[in-house]
Structure 1
Amino acid sequence: MDKKLVKKLQQEFSFIPKSNPLFRRNLRAPMYIETDDGWFDLIYHLCLDIQKEIKKNSKLKNFIVVQVKEKLGGLRFYTGAATHEVFELIRKAELESYNICERCGELGILRRNKVWWYKTLCLGCANKELEKEWIPVKLIQDITSLKKK
């Protein structure tokens, strides 16, 4: 994600640290949000919802985001200890990411390329990378539907 967008998140939400909490403090590695810019609005609105939960619940006073990245075409939002309500907000945003183009923020679908690299992209962004041949992937929400009959 663009450094200016990351900085905006860090300035507005105290639970997104400026240095990565996974590293020893003396290393001072910067906190990165390892997604493309298209998910900025999704992440921003998730942070707004989390901020509301923090204000309602004193147990969340030390809440911290540890890592934000794309994995297997979807958003991953890793945190320290949190409440069920916060984890539910995160889960919903992670699921929603499979419908938002990671590059531009438009409506997207999960795709894979020839080497099985996954990305959620709109048709326009997928077509910009024709050499990677992004193929649409059908998401299965309920694995019980795969049972043999």
Structure 2
Amino acid sequence: MKKSEAHEEKRIERKADISTYIDRLQYAINSGNAKVQFQKDRKVDERRDKKYTNRYTMLTLFPDEDEVEVMKRELEQLTVEDYIETVKDKRYPKRSEMTVFGKKYSDEDVYIKIRVEILDAIAAGGDNHIFVMSFHFAEEKFVDDDFPYRKKQG
């Protein structure tokens, strides 16, 4: 499931930190102080089987829904148990880290990667920017070990 990229630094955050992150994410979405941007088409998708693209996944799972509204709803439902890892892209050292989650939809694993940017309060009116880079079917099935805070089955 986790393919290492040379430009990425991956780590597992403490459970309490992820819980706080999710609480803040949910608060921002519910308060209306978050602008959600969904990247429907990505350059990397040009070389990928279309089943594993954001566009295909959204059209399959939520065919008649507004993508931004779907993202708000789905991000609100994330839990600590869905957390996989935190990723720093060394190509963009000034950007915030990306947080990776995984969920199951219609018996298919879905890979979710988001970046939350705290914008300048004066320039942006105090809003936070939530950028959803990945929301697509996982190329490899998730296993229990992918989720550091999920209770083991069995």
TM-score (norm 1): 0.30
Q: Which has the higher helix share?
A: 1
Larger Rg: 1
TM-score (norm 2): 0.29
Larger RCO, structure (CA 8 Å, separation 6 or more): 2
Q: Which has the higher strand share?
A: 2
